Amino acid sequence: MSDGFINLNKPAGMTSHDAVNRVRKIFSTRKVGHAGTLDPAACGVLPIAVGRATKFIEYLTDCDKSYRAEILFGLATDSGDLDGEIIARAENFIPPTREDFIAVAENFVGEIEQRPPKFSAIKIHGRKAYDLARKNLSFELPSRRVKIFRLELVAFDENSATIEVDCAKGTYIRSLAVDLGERLNLPAALKNLVRVRVGDFNLDDALTFDELNASKLLPVENCLRHLPTFELAEHRVRAFLNGLPTTMHAADEKFLRVESGGKFLGVGRIERGNLLSSKIF
C-alpha cells in the first residue's frame, strides 16, 4: 500500500468526507483521512493522507491557512453562506465605500473574538452543531479567540467585497463575513470561498481527482517541515522506535520531526526534558 499526502484541489459541492471516500476508491484502501475540514460550498486545498501518513494528520491541524473569500452585502442567512436560509435582507441599502470597508476590516487583524456558525462540525455534548441546527434545536456556540494575520481587500463593488485572509486554525471565514457586515450595519453572507493554502500545501500545486495516482503522493517528512527537525544520535534510534525516552535539553510539550542520518523516523514530543516518540513512521 502507498503512503503519503495528497494536495487535493477539492471542488465545490462536495463534503470533505466525500472527498476522502473518492480517494479511498482511487487508491483501493480504507486508510485515508483529511486534515482540516473544508465546507461543501468551498473549494481549494484539502490535504489528504493515505496509508501510514494518516498517523500524522494531527500535526497539520495547527498549520496556518489562507483563503480568498467573496462577501455579499444586503442579505444574511442562518448558515453564514448562500447555502443557508435567508434570515435578513436589506432593500435599497446604501452600499459601503471601499474606504469604509478597509477601515472596518483593519479591526479584524490580530487576535479577535469570534463565534463559530451554528452550521459547523463543532460538537455540542457529543453531537455536531450542524445536526442540531438542521433540527431547529436551540443552542449557543461559545465565542473563542482566533488569530487573523492578514486581511487584504482585493476587489470591491457596491454589492460585494473580495478579501484575502491569512489566519490561524479555528478561524471561520463565514463568521468573519457576517461580522464584517455587522460592523458596516449591513446583513452579509459568504458568497464564494477558496482555500489557497494549508501550511506548505498551496493551491498552485493542488491536484484534481483525475490527476491522482501513487506517483503524486508527497512523502510524509516533506509535509511536516513546519515542525523543527531534531537529528537523533544513531545509538538512540532503536530506543526511540521502541518508545523509550532520550534525555535532552528543550522546552516541554514541543513536537519535533525526528531524523537520524537523513532518514525520517517519526514525530517526537518533549516532555519533562525527555524526547518521547509520539508517532513513528
SS (H, E, C) 99-132: HHHHHHHHHHCEEEEECCCCCCCCEECCEEHHHH
SS3 213: coil
Distance (Å, rounded) from C-alpha 154 to C-alpha 44?
18
Distance (Å, rounded) from C-alpha 205 to C-alpha 203?
5
- Give me the active site residues, please: 39
Strand pairing class (263-271; 274-280): antiparallel
C-alpha distances in Å from residue 97, one per residue of 5, 103, 106, 157, 275: 43, 10, 15, 8, 55
Specify the residue for cell string 493515505: 50
Residue of 224, 109, 104, 107 whose CA lies nearest to 167? 109
List b or e across 70-92, with b for residues whose CB sees 16 or more CB atoms inside 10 angstroms: bbbbbbbbbbbbebbeeeeebee
Cβ contact 17:40 at 8 Å = no
